[in-house]
């Protein structure tokens, strides 16, 4: 089992007694950063779920299935703790855009998003490893891109930033230069809708505010 403890999140023994252990089932530094920003103490145990092996008819179903599968994969290895799984996909004209397989695929995705609005879905799943209780939900945010020139697409792809991002862009990075506006939760686009997470954590007795 590969466990990484958030170095800035060490709490006292009294703190640990007051609230359950939180475990993020994701190696994403973006999700870890978001959780740290709202003061959560947590460990990181990346899920080993193969995303390509899961399918569903609707985007919201897909992200919830993926988020739950990731949380369940980690929860089965633990005796206690609240495991948080998350997944994010980009949808344009009903087509799911995952992470690009190469530079050509990234450029193709960016052309499909150019000058148009698309949707970003983020699923969140919480599982109590001790009791098996689970809760799954999702958030969706609309994002509009400016019209991109071929030169802009080539320069952005050359940075390498698109390669491990759903839809081939990172709104919190250079990809912010491609966006003209959003409707919804910004953090959903980054990869973890914090408002939704806070509501779900409260159902498990974890208060964020």
Full DSSP string of 138-170: EEEEEEEEPPPPHHHHHHHHHTSGGGGSGGG--
Instruction: Output the pLDDT for position 19.
Output: 78
In DSSP notation, 111-128 reads HHHTTSEEEEEEEEEEEE
Residue 190 lies in a domain: yes
Q: Cα 68 vs. chain centroid, distance in angstroms?
A: 12
Give yes or no: 73 in active site.
Answer: no
Q: What is the pLDDT of residue 24?
A: 98
**How far apart are the C-alpha atoms of 129 and 78, rounded to whole Å?**
6
Residue 108 lies in a domain: yes
| pLDDT at residue 100, rounded to an integer | 94
pLDDT mean for each 10 residues of the chain (209 residues): 43 50 95 95 92 76 95 96 96 91 97 97 97 97 98 97 94 96 97 96 92
The CA distance from 117 to 143, in Å, is 5
Give the relative orientation of helices 103-113 and 150-158 as an angle to the nearest 10 degrees.
140
Q: What is the dihedral of CA 119, 126, 26, 174, to 10 degrees?
A: 30
Residue 47 belongs to domain with CATH number: 3.90.950.10
Asked if 176 contacts 137 with a C-beta cutoff of 8 angstroms, the reply is no
Domains identified in the chain, total number: 1
Closest C-alpha to 157, from 112, 201, 208, 102 = 102
Q: Considering 43, 73, 87, 207, which one is annotated as catalytic?
A: 87
Residue 207 included in any domain: no
d(CA 209, CA 206): 9
- β-pair partners for 96: 91
pLDDT for 16 equals 41
- Does residue 174 fall inside a structural domain? yes
- Domain span at residue 67 reads 4-202
Inside any domain, residue 122? yes
Cα 116–197–118 angle (5° rounding)? 5
Residue 85 resides in a domain: yes
The answer to the question of residue 146 being in a domain is yes
Predicted pLDDT at 52: 66
At 173 the three-state DSSP class reads: coil
Do 98 and 54 form a contact (C-beta atoms < 8 A)? Answer: no
- Do the domain assignments include residue 209? no
């Amino acid at each position: 089992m590969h466990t990484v403890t958030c170095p800035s999140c060490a709490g006292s023994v009294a703190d640990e007694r007051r609230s359950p252990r939180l475990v993020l089932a994701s190696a994403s530094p973006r999700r870890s950063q978001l959780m740290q920003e709202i003061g959560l103490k947590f460990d990181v145990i990346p899920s080993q779920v193969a995303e390509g092996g899961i399918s569903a008819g609707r985007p919201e179903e897909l992200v919830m299935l993926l988020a739950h599968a990731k949380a369940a994969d980690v929860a089965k290895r633990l005796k206690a703790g609240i495991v948080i799984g998350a997944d994010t996909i980009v949808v344009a004209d009903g087509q799911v855009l995952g992470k690009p397989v190469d530079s050509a695929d990234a450029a193709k995705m960016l052309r499909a998003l150019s000058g148009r609005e698309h949707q970003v879905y983020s699923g969140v799943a919480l599982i109590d490893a001790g009791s098996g209780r689970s809760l799954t939900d999702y958030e969706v945010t609309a994002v509009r891109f400016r019209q991109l020139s071929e030169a802009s697409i080539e320069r952005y792809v050359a940075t390498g930033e698109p390669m491990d991002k759903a839809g081939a862009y990172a709104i919190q990075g250079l990809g912010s230069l491609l966006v003209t506006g959003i409707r919804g939760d910004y953090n959903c686009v980054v990869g973890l809708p914090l408002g939704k997470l806070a509501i779900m954590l409260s159902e498990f007795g974890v208060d964020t505010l």
